[in-house]
């Protein structure tokens, strides 16, 4: 088992960020997000779980607690067609070619025939996010990435600024400029596509 996050580097219990509820805040957490026992049939319920404007403190991981919370991302849904259109308009489209195994002159090794270039959607969206961030600041957030999320509306992609296991104090000016540049709404918290349940160890690879 490989832990994705170092338990010794969990955020401090008294961490204060605009995206996290202040200590002592009482909130109603959707029941499905509190569930400690998981079955595959619950996946559809997780997909319908609402995104959270601010993170309840129960989802800030703590070494002393028996159960560790699901992995959650703070950011925005990345609507595929919208992001691809923005990339095209800004000449940031990324293309890819593959070895053409069906070509009559195919041979293994350098210089072999290649397929016609085609759009690489994932690389294009990644490049759009990376380029936009670098146009705003010379030091983009280190954990900024496009990830798979379970409960993002109308998409499976989320532009993640950081997670509940590694929350970061980011410039609100950067967040706002980035949001406007990509025509996004306000950032929210979304469930990770793979590590969406409470566990005894936290997000890990088996």
Average pLDDT over residues 123-146: 96
pTM for the full model?
0.88
User: What is the per-residue pLDDT for 2?
Assistant: 52
- What is the sign of the dihedral through the CA atoms of 134, 140, 142 and 146? negative
Q: Average model confidence (pLDDT) for the chain?
A: 88
User: What is the per-residue pLDDT for 175?
Assistant: 97
User: What is the per-residue pLDDT for 32?
Assistant: 83
User: What is the per-residue pLDDT for 189?
Assistant: 97
Note the pLDDT tens digit of each residue in 167-190.
999 999 999 999 999 999 999 999
Note the pLDDT tens digit of each residue in 32-44.
888 877 777 788 8
Q: How crowded is residue 104: how many other Cβ atoms within 10 Å of its Cβ? A: 6
CB 97 within 8 A of CB 114: yes
CB 116 within 8 A of CB 97: yes
What is the three-class DSSP state of 174? Answer: helix
Position with higher pLDDT, 90 vs 97? 90
Q: With a cut of 90, say whether residue 112 has pLDDT above it.
A: no
Among 26, 36, 24, 40, which residue's Cα sits nearest to residue 65?
Answer: 36
CA distances from 58 to 24, 26, 54, 89, 104 (A): 11, 10, 12, 42, 61
Note the pLDDT tens digit of each residue in 36-69.
777 777 888 889 999 999 999 999 998 888 889 9
User: What is the per-residue pLDDT for 101?
Assistant: 60
């Amino acid at each position: 088992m490989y832990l994705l996050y170092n338990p010794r580097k969990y955020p401090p219990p008294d961490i204060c960020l605009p995206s996290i509820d202040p200590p002592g805040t009482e909130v109603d957490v959707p029941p499905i997000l509190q569930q400690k026992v998981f079955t595959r049939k619950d996946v559809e319920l997780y997909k319908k779980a609402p995104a959270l404007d601010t993170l309840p403190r129960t989802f800030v991981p703590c070494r002393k607690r028996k159960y560790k919370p699901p992995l959650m991302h703070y950011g925005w849904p990345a609507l595929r067609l919208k992001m691809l259109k923005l990339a095209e308009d800004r000449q940031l489209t990324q293309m890819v070619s593959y070895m053409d195994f069906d070509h009559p002159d195919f041979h293994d090794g350098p210089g072999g025939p290649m397929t016609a270039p085609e759009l690489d959607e994932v690389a294009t969206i990644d490049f759009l996010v990376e380029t936009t961030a670098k146009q705003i600041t010379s030091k983009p957030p280190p954990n900024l990435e496009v990830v798979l999320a379970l409960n993002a509306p109308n998409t499976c992609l989320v532009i993640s600024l950081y997670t509940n296991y590694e929350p970061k104090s980011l410039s609100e000016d950067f967040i706002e400029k980035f949001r406007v540049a990509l025509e996004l709404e306000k950032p929210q918290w979304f469930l990770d596509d793979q590590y969406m349940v409470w566990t005894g160890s936290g997000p890990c690879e088996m």
